[in-house]
Amino acid sequence: MQERTIGRFNVSAIGLGCMNLSHAYGTPPTAEQGERVLLAALDAGVTLFDTAALYGFGANETLVGKVLSKHRSRFTLASKGGMAGVQFDDGIKRVIDGRPETVRKNCEDSLKRLQTDVIDLYYLHRWDKKVPIEDSVGAMAELVREGKVRSIGLSEVSAATLHKAHAVHPIAAVQTEYSLWTRNPEIAVLDACREIGAAFVAFSPVARGFLCDALHDVSTLQAKDIRAAMPRFAADNYAANLQLLPPYRALALEAGCTPAQLALAWLLHKAPHIVPIPGTTSVVHLQDDLGAVEVQLDVGLLAKLEALINQQTVTGQRYSAQSASEVDTEEFDVCNRRRDLLS
């Protein structure tokens, strides 16, 4: 397995996003199936495993801890706090809370579930806009000083917020959605990461299954599948997006790889500080994803890919208005400025 650098860590060029094993895409797999995927990834040379307090409201960290804690020295462990499940009278709900005391509690709870003394890379899952980013990062820096965390990351933040945070404590990585059909990191944050020496960790690198050529009928999505509420997966928008798949399949054939491998290889070719973390519930799909490290793309094919699938050719926003309000990226700043100009 090829390697890339995140802060002080050398990690596999493709990591594993563990969310799918407990969260987000309908009924999760069994614990036994999740264990098979985690161990298969470890055996295949994956050395970056990414989870969060939010995923399955702690269930994902519990699974990762149970399966991988005995192999702790073999991989870099990443998790996230500042967004977690909170118990209310009518059930557990997702809450963004970046107050220092909450960030600390999230981390300490995660350490217990993960069955470890230290988290290698600890992200602020979302910037809580009611709390100065300097305060949240200050609390994370204290966790580093106490030896509970080795390095700090941020998720879904703008370049401006990244620079503010980095002034408090070095930021090792920024994690944001990035794929052929989600290109907003190219506005500023990719360059900002390069400037400060941070890695860029790309989640949803195969466009939540779209670039795997695996989802052709969105009416089959379960009610609990988060894609059902995403504008790009609305029936009319998705019908338009499906028109991109035949020429995309042709480019994968030209490259001599599968559609999923093409999406991941594109990211690996974009810059050496990018580390994609695809997720899967299938060992077969995992092995397919990891094969992307062997795919070579020439300049001409890269140009064809980027001309085919980009922010102008994809139909629909990536998030609903509510979800968009919870992130801090240039993508939505640009959209808001356009709306202001038109109003």
Please tell me the pTM assigned to this model.
Answer: 0.94
Please report the pLDDT score of residue 325 as a whole number: 87
Q: Which of 101, 94, 38 is nearest to 70 (CA)?
A: 38
Measure the CA–CA gap between 150 and 122, rounded to whole angstroms.
8
Exposed, middle or buried by CB within 10 Å (0-12, 13-18, 19+), for 339?
Answer: exposed
| Residue-wise pLDDT tens digits, 236-280 | 999 999 999 999 999 999 999 999 999 999 999 999 999 999 999
Amino acid at 177: E
Catalytic residues, by residue number, are 55
| Residue-wise pLDDT tens digits, 283-320 | 999 999 999 999 999 999 999 999 999 999 999 999 98
Look at residue 335 and tell me whether its pLDDT is greater than 90.
no
Split at pLDDT 50, 70, 90, the class of 91 is confident
Q: How many angstroms from the chain centroid is the CA of residue 297? A: 23
Architecture (CATH level 2) of domain 3-342: Alpha-Beta Barrel (3.20)
Whether 257 and 301 have beta carbons less than 8 Å apart is answered as: no
| Beta-ladder partners of 124 | 81, 154
Please report the pLDDT score of residue 332 as a whole number: 52
| Residue-wise pLDDT tens digits, 45-89 | 999 999 999 999 999 999 999 999 999 999 999 999 999 988 888
Whether 62 and 31 have beta carbons less than 8 Å apart is answered as: no
